[in-house]
Structure 1
């Protein structure tokens, strides 16, 4: 399909999973001039109908076709890109079907809840890349201006030797949130609690900033909710190949819900990102290095626009903008024949860290990330620690 006004090709998109996340994807996709939503898929027909109504009325675009299965959608009309927005435990089978049908794929985070399935899709994605197919996993915060600024500073050595990092997600989720869907708070479909479901993006940023993780030691607990299998509090330490040490803190039991915070520290600079905005940035230049830090000033305003500074007004579309930035990268990757900014192997590594948190808490020992990636711990059933 091509745009009559520009002559550029337009990619037809099928969204699989028509809940809240599906709507957010639809809003982002509708804003990209080279994407058009042609199909909505959900095993619950009413969910697809509801999203079709919203797409038609709110976004003002042609009503997409509705299907109860991806198989039916693929058979009904040409589709270029399949977007998987189902519960986490269903991600890989759908992505696999789309790849085998020769489609580009975007998978909502996390990659899956199963390392075994995640390794399978990583292998399929690598093979698909040789056929020109692009597969990306949603990690939209890698595209935030604050994240880009910090990642670039780390890569360029502006912080000197990176020594430590902190990833903290201090959120609140009510009991009604967990009771609203039978799949919520389950190992089978959520794959975990505060770390897997709410914290995986922040874990991903910590890994992106600090490099290859080596091992994890963690504790988890269920302290503020009932009828939930997974944790609502987790803390962990991570050791990285560089020698840097990291801390992961994730909770859905921090009433009334506070910010997401990522800190990166080195021997010549530091940065703090709070709720995706740059709060603090200092990197000592070769001639300006002050061991006492007395002259260190916040350089954040020199790196990002005012609305991306802590406290800046990013407007009502903030939750759409992040996904749109990643879709821009995905489309460019398809058009240019290159890898996307977030690859399946990137998501696999972040998933392995999350899984290592749960395995460490279950086993009561440090868990090597390579143990998780290799599959040597696949047979262990993880549990949530509790406080007597």
Structure 2
């Protein structure tokens, strides 16, 4: 194989970026050969933009039947991600899925099962794993530099969205069309990074405000409390209606504290462990000696192109994946747990009760008052292979 022939399904906001990057050669050893979208107007745009050099299809079935691609990038509305991922894998295609991996873990578990039985590369577009800062944070945590993990706080409220944004598509900000709000759309990256760096929590308590700051039915403001197996705790705060917003991550261990804010990483390093100091100090208010260290971070954020390049390299050269698709279920599990906790007004213990979450999600869909016409059109995109 000289090049990986790629088809992109869905050319909305993200899909459009992907096809432009592929066509312009931003991903080495990759060739854009096909585009699929249910809107003829988008396909007409693609034909003009790419000089009729890329095949276009109105359905995933047509694209697969054409046998023109080695791999698919799935950038459709969220509910289709597991469905189309399974369809592609069953037809011997490598699969790269946009985030989130799906809306509910029960569907994603089936996708992971099919992927485990396949020899094809399966990747998720967790582009923030290419960020050198978060790579360094993970290294400092995993290497034991901060000692035993004690606390994490992440306030990520710079996802500001206007009402115009939510009105731009009938499927947006609906339970049936999108499957949630800020948790499922804007911040899957941060939920993934939390578990990528620190592992999975054992208990979750979520507080969601639905349509508090916009005329929508899903959550646009969230505060969640996390508990970990070793007793560590966490608070996760996010919103699409706060301006100016904040993006600040704190991770505390007994040997110090990491802070990520404004593209800088600072390590407040204790000269000795807090536990050792606590046990040996002969003064009541004495604190461990602490050094403020600006951590140098090497490399650049390659973002979506970086994940696509890693995907192609894994296909061509069996390179280790930065964002294996099977790991997409982890961040989604936290998201589902926050929702379920909010809906039941109770703690949720992991592993998640997938059947209960699905039941409650269906209740949300059935009681929705949103006009279903645009949603139904979008949902018809799913294939039948």
TM-score band (shorter)?
Answer: 0.7 to 0.9
**Contact map agreement 2:28 2:309 (CA 8 A) in 1:** no
Q: Does 1:244 align with 2:237?
A: no
- Unaligned 5+ runs, structure 2: 278-286, 366-385
**In 2: Cα distance, 1:329 partner to 1:93 partner:** 23
Pick aligned residue for 2:264 from 272, 278, 285: 278
Which residue does the alignment assign to 1:33?
28
Give a deviation string over 1:306-345, Cα, whole Å, max 9, x none. xx6xxxxxxxxx7xx3112212222222233365222233
The offset of 1:194, in angstroms, is 1.2
Answer with 14-23 or 162-171: which moved more. 162-171
**In 2: Cα distance, 1:357 partner to 1:87 partner:** 21
Q: How do 1:124-135 and structure 2 match up within 5 A?
A: 124-128=114-118, 132-135=119-122
Which residue does the alignment assign to 2:63?
73
**Contact map agreement 1:261 1:273 (CA 8 A) in 2:** yes
CA pair 53-241 structure 1, distance change in 2 beyond 3 A: farther
Pick aligned residue for 2:45 from 46, 50, 60: 50
| TM-score (structure 2 length as normaliser) | 0.84
Structure 1 segments, 4+ long, off by >6 Å, are: none
**In 1: Cα distance, 2:150 partner to 2:225 partner:** 13
The offset of 1:36, in angstroms, is 0.9
Q: How do 1:1-388 and structure 2 match up within 5 A?
A: 9-29=2-22, 30-55=25-50, 63-128=53-118, 132-170=119-157, 171-221=159-209, 222-226=211-215, 228-255=216-243, 257-274=244-261, 277-283=263-269, 292=287, 295-300=290-295, 302-304=296-298, 321-337=302-318, 340-372=321-353, 374-381=354-361
**In 2: Cα distance, 1:339 partner to 1:45 partner:** 38
Answer with 334-343 or 242-251: which moved more. 334-343
CA pair 240-43 structure 1, distance change in 2 beyond 3 A: same
**Contact map agreement 1:163 1:267 (CA 8 A) in 2:** yes
- Unaligned 5+ runs, structure 1: 2-8, 57-61, 309-317
**Contact map agreement 2:310 2:319 (CA 8 A) in 1:** no
**Contact map agreement 2:166 2:173 (CA 8 A) in 1:** yes
RMSD, aligned CA: 2.5
The offset of 1:297, in angstroms, is 2.1
**In 1: Cα distance, 2:343 partner to 2:332 partner:** 17
The offset of 1:218, in angstroms, is 0.9
Q: How many residues align?
A: 351
Question: Quick check: which has more Rg, 1 or 2?
Answer: 2
Give a deviation string over 1:267-313, Cα, whole Å, max 9, x none. 112222236x23423445779x996465412232x2336xx6xxxxx
**Contact map agreement 2:270 2:288 (CA 8 A) in 1:** no
The offset of 1:157, in angstroms, is 0.4
Q: Which has the higher contact order (CA 8 A, sep 6+)?
A: 2
**In 1: Cα distance, 2:246 partner to 2:323 partner:** 24
Which residue does the alignment assign to 1:314?
none
Give a deviation string over 1:93-116, Cα, whole Å, max 9, x none. 211111111000000000111322
**In 2: Cα distance, 1:383 partner to 1:218 partner:** 17
